[in-house]
Amino acid sequence: MGRYMEQRRRVEERQRRLEQRIAEECRRSGHARPRTRRDFLNQGLIAGVSTVFLPSLATLMPTAARAECVIDNNPLLGAGKIPFLAFDQGGGANIAGSNVIVGGVGGQEDFLSANGYAKLGLPEAIIPQNVGIDRTFGMAMHPDSALLRGLLDKTSAGTRANTNGTIIPARSENDTGNNPHNPVYGIARAGANGEFVATIGTRNSDSGGRSAAPNSMVLSEFRPTKVSRPSEAIGLIGDDIGDGFPNGRIAEAASIISALKLGRIDELQATEELVQCGFDKAVETLNTTVVPQDLDPEADPILQSIFPNGELNDGDFRKAAAAMKVVVNGYGGAGTIEYGGRDYHQDPRPETDGKDFVVGQAIGASLEYAAQLGKPLMIYCFSDGAVAADTGNPEDDGNGVTKFRWRSDNSQTAASFILVYSPNGRPVLRNGDASQQLGYFRSDGNVETASSPFANSVTQLAELVVLNYLGLHGEEGLFGMVLNNPGLGTGPAVSPYIAFEAIV
């Protein structure tokens, strides 16, 4: 009983100090009093508090006849939204043709001409008309794709069966970080959030990657926190505040809970029962305290199995593992994993296909990690511009297949793609086969810029990704509000560009 009273005394003292800090911050900034945990985070009033699972606000709200204090010992991480990872390939990587099949107005299997596919790196002997396609992951991929080999290397049959994708023909400027490709701010606006941060990125930039984010989406409170290695993932916990409790977090949690409560109810409603309940809930969080090991990818047996034999010592895999650990588990809402050096022209085909293979492995590992945790996952892969092939320079791709070496940057051959994993089965295409390719290529191997509103607008391409993220939640009706009148449009005008039925 003595220890209980001492804990309570410390809680009350921290409550008093926090109340003073809140009042000072509100006076200084002119902001209204924070009312939710995320208000506290956004105003910088708390940081370390995110190392415990706070009880649901709903259980602290007054009811007509409150009879008991209900304590939830298993609260959800994050905001309950689908985890989102963007793969930013800096420099102008190939996606269309040699990796993901692109076709004409009739979809992926409305094949281009032999010359069109030659521009996309494929000699006539291996164009899809002659060697077929691979639909292991739903969308059609080239059977000799290095990206596909990487995906297959890191996924199980069950994960593949529950994944679907769509290819998006859309041009962007070559080899520049000025393309507003990155949609993570829009994803955060759509509700993605984490226990610690809204967004992360493997690069210390405003977008978390190489490409920029559309200015219309940017909110400073959603700026990505850099997470590219285990120490940075662990660092999201913050410094121990030290209160004589394990990790020093219980008193902090109790203070925040009480502050939240007092911000939501008036004096007449504030009863001793609620005060005591708030304290009891805080003490119960002792059993769900997040410790450094919980954020350490190197201590995660699932990631160790996905990246065996010391692969987590490889920088390409280390940053991917750190990012997926944070995002898929709900410690962050959305993340960007950047892979630079994708300026492919004049490099030997074995080298460029080797880079595609690595990105495929990282994407596949993300899908497999989500699958083993029983979590859904949305992945978006893009690059700034693209490349065209030297049709006079065939060479072995390093895997026994002859392809054309990449010759020069070419924004006209660019495309992005989305992959979605659901624990409940393969995501269903909303508009049948038409949803497997959003827009199309001309027969000569160039993007048809009139094929969609986003085929020649990178900002609207990023908006499209946010639209599809909302669609996976059945919330596409919120699109105009989330992005404040997007250039892509709203309502029936954008319905054809929602690739999948809701999965949650």
Over residues 375-432, the pLDDT tens digits come to: 999 999 999 999 999 999 999 999 999 999 999 999 999 999 999 999 999 999 999 9
pLDDT of residue 250: 39
Those residues with Cβ within 8 angstroms of residue 392's Cβ, 6 or more apart along the chain or in another chain: none
Distance of CA 372 to the CA centre of its chain: 17
Question: How many Cα atoms sit within 13 Å of 114 on the Cβ side?
Answer: 7
Question: Do 165 and 417 form a contact (C-beta atoms < 8 A)?
Answer: yes
Alpha helices per DSSP H over 77-190: 114-119, 128-131, 146-154, 157-161, 184-189
Pick the residue with more confidence: 373 or 292?
A: 373
Residue 99 has pLDDT above 70, yes or no: yes
Is the pLDDT at 247 greater than 60? The verdict is no
Query: Which amino acid is it at 365?
Result: A
Q: Where are the beta strands (DSSP E) in 103-240?
A: 163-169, 197-201, 225-226
In terms of phi and psi (left: phi > 0; alpha: psi -120 to 50; beta: otherwise), the region of 279 is: alpha
Q: Which residue has the higher pLDDT, 68 or 316?
A: 316
pLDDT bracket for residue 434 (50, 70, 90):
very high
What residue type is 167 in one-letter code?
I
For residues 313 and 22, what is the distance between their CA atoms, to the nearest angstrom?
A: 43
Closest C-alpha among 147, 132, 139 to residue 163: 139
Instruction: Report the alpha-carbon distance of residue 52 to residue 287 in Å, rounded.
Output: 9
Cα→Cα distances 323→183, 224, 234, Å? 16, 11, 11
Indicate whether 339 pLDDT > 80: yes
Nearest to 225 by CA among 322, 133, 299, 134: 322
The per-residue pLDDT for range 2-52, each reduced to its tens digit, is 544 554 565 456 556 656 655 665 565 555 555 444 444 444 444 433 333
Strand 387-396 vs strand 402-409: parallel, antiparallel, or unpaired?
A: antiparallel
**CA neighbours closer than 13 Å in the CB half-sphere of residue 465:** 36
> Which residues, in sequence order, are CB contacts of 390 under 8 Å at separation 6+?
404, 405, 406, 407
Exposed/middle/buried for residue 49 (C-beta within 10 Å: 0-12, 13-18, 19+):
buried
Res. 256 pLDDT band, cuts 50 70 90: very low
CA 285 to chain centre: 28
More confident position, 466 or 28: 466
Q: By mean pLDDT, which of 37-41, 234-238, 289-293 is the weakest?
A: 37-41
% of the chain surpassing 70 pLDDT: 74
Q: Find which of 12-26, 120-134, 183-197 is predicted with most confidence, using mean pLDDT.
A: 120-134
Report percent pLDDT > 90 for the chain: 69
Phi, psi of 338 (to 5 degrees): -95, 135
What does DSSP assign to residue 47?
A: S
The predicted pLDDT at position 10 comes to 56
- In the structure encoding, which two tokens stand for residue 83, read together? 């985890």
Please state the rounded mean pLDDT for residues 61-67: 35
Distance CA 100, CA 95 (A): 6
**Predicted pLDDT of residue 67:** 40
List the structure tokens of 129.
């008309």
Mean of pLDDT values over 154-160: 98
Q: Which of 104-113, 144-153, 238-247, 475-484 is predicted with the least confidence, judged by mean pLDDT?
A: 238-247
Encoded amino acid at 316, one letter: D
pLDDT of residue 345: 77
User: Is residue 289 scored above 80 in pLDDT?
Assistant: no
Query: What burial class does residue 34 get, using C-beta atoms within 10 Å of its C-beta: 0-12 exposed, 13-18 middle, 19+ buried?
Result: buried
267 or 312, which is more confident? 312
| Token duo for residue 37 | 């945990």
Q: Which residue has the higher pLDDT, 67 or 29?
A: 29
When mean pLDDT is compared over 57-61, 255-259, 285-289, 405-409, the highest value belongs to: 405-409
Q: Find the length of the chain.
A: 504
Mean pLDDT of the chain: 83
Question: Average pLDDT in the 146-155 region?
Answer: 98
| Tokens at 101, concatenated | 């099949």
The residue with greater pLDDT, 53 or 171, is 171
β-strand pairing of 415-421 with 197-201 = unpaired
pLDDT at residue 272 above 70?
A: no
Q: With cut-offs at 50, 70 and 90, classify the pLDDT of residue 105.
A: very high
Q: What mean pLDDT is predicted for residues 292-297?
A: 92
